[in-house]
Amino acid sequence: MAKVTFDTDICKGCGLCVTACPKGIIRLAKDKINKKGHSPAEITDQEKCIACAFCATMCPDCVITVEK
């Protein structure tokens, strides 16, 4: 099973990963604010992740790790 993790402390909430995810399982958190004052990205359903790593490729700050 694939595992996606985000370094939420440095995520600037740009949303590029949200757009890149073909499964639509990444969103910007609605109830969290990180140290920089942004809503970080989060995965909504880990089970549906196919480990394509499009999200990690699009992230300009390299906050996403994808493991197979």
Per-residue three-class SS string for the chain? CCEEEECCCCCCCCCHHHHHCCCCCEEECCCCCCCCCCCCEEECCHHHCCCCCHHHHHCCCCCEEEEC
What's the whole-number average pLDDT of the chain?
96
Number of domains present in the structure of the chain: 1
- Structural domain that includes position 7: 3-67
1: pLDDT strictly greater than 90: no
| Entry pTM | 0.90
pLDDT reported for residue 14? 97
Q: Which residues contact 15 (CB under 8 A, 6 or more apart)?
A: 28, 41
Q: How confident is the model at residue 64 (pLDDT cuts 50, 70, 90)?
A: very high
pLDDT tens across 21-54, in order? 999 999 999 999 999 999 999 999 999 999 999 9
* CATH number for position 48: 3.30.70.20
